[in-house]
């Protein structure tokens, strides 16, 4: 029910018939999906683990995090590669 309302709402919002058709195309595609649902579940779970857990807690971009400017970064790396 909520889905149908959402679809109607968005269809009304898209005044441009082309955009409306594109939206309908994706919307129907997802709605009629059978075996693909499980895959979407996996994709979303995977993206969640990757970005919300791994990226956030385990994989900071060190140079971006620890330094404010490219000059500082360059100086740090120079230090590292000449004093390994």
* Binding site residues, another protein, CB under 8 A: 25-26, 28-30, 34-36, 38-40, 42-43, 46-47, 49-50, 54-55, 58-64, 70, 73-75, 77-84
Do 49 and 43 contact (CB within 8 A), yes or no? no
Q: Which is nearer to another protein, 19 or 39 (CB)?
A: 39
Query: Which residue lies nearer to another protein by CB, 2 or 81?
Result: 81
Number of H helices, E strands in the chain: 5, 0
Three-point CA angle 56, 48, 27, nearest 5° = 140
User: Cβ 12 to another protein, closest distance in Å?
Assistant: 21
């Amino acid at each position: 029910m909520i889905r149908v309302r959402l679809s109607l709402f968005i269809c009304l919002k898209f005044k441009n018939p082309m955009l409306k058709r594109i939206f309908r195309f994706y919307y129907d595609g997802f709605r009629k999906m059978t075996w693909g649902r499980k895959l979407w579940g996996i994709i979303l779970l995977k993206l969640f683990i990757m970005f919300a857990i791994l990226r956030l807690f385990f994989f900071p971009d060190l140079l971006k995090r620890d330094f404010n400017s490219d000059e500082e970064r360059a100086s740090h790396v120079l230090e590292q590669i000449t004093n390994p």
